[in-house]
Structure 1
Amino acid sequence: MNTEIDKIAWLHIVDGRILTARSKGKDTYYLPGGKREPGESDIDTLVREIEEELSVRINRKTAARVDSFHAAAHGKLEGVQVTMTCYTADYEGELNPASEIEALAWFTYKDRERVSAVCQMIFDYLHNEKMLAD
Structure 2
Amino acid sequence: MIRTAALAHVRDRRLIQTRPEGKDVFYMAGGKIDPGETPLQALHREIEEELGVGLSGVAELGIFEAEAFGHGKNTPLHMTCYLADFTGEPVATGEIAEFRYFTVSEYAAMDQVAPGSMLVFRRLHELDLIDW
TM-score of the superposed pair, with normalisation by structure 1: 0.91
Matched, 1:58 2:55: yes
2:35 to 27, 33, 38: 38
Q: Secondary structure at the match of 1:47?
A: helix
Aligned length: 129
Amino acid at match of 1:27: D
For 1:96, the equivalent position in structure 2 comes to: 91
Matched, 1:69 2:64: yes
- 1:34-87 per-position Cα deviation (integer Å, ceiling 9, x unaligned): 00011111211011000000000123xx21101111111101121101011110
Q: Per-residue deviation at 1:90?
A: 2.6
- 2:117 equivalent in structure 1: 119
**CA distance, structure 1, for counterparts of residue 88 and residue 44 of structure 2:** 13
* Percent of matched pairs sharing the same residue: 36
Q: Which residue of 2 aligns with 1:107?
A: 102
The match for 1:8 is 5
Q: Secondary structure at the match of 1:89?
A: strand
Give the alignment's Cα RMSD to 1 decimal. 1.1
How far residue 89 of structure 1 moved from its aligned partner, in angstroms, is 1.9
The residue identity in structure 1 corresponding to 2:125 is H
CA shift, 1:104, in A, is 0.8
User: Which structure 1 residue ranges, 5 or more long, are not aligned?
Assistant: none
> More displaced, 18-27 or 105-114?
105-114
Mapped partners of 2:126, 2:20: distance in 1: 28
Name 2:130's counterpart in structure 1. 132
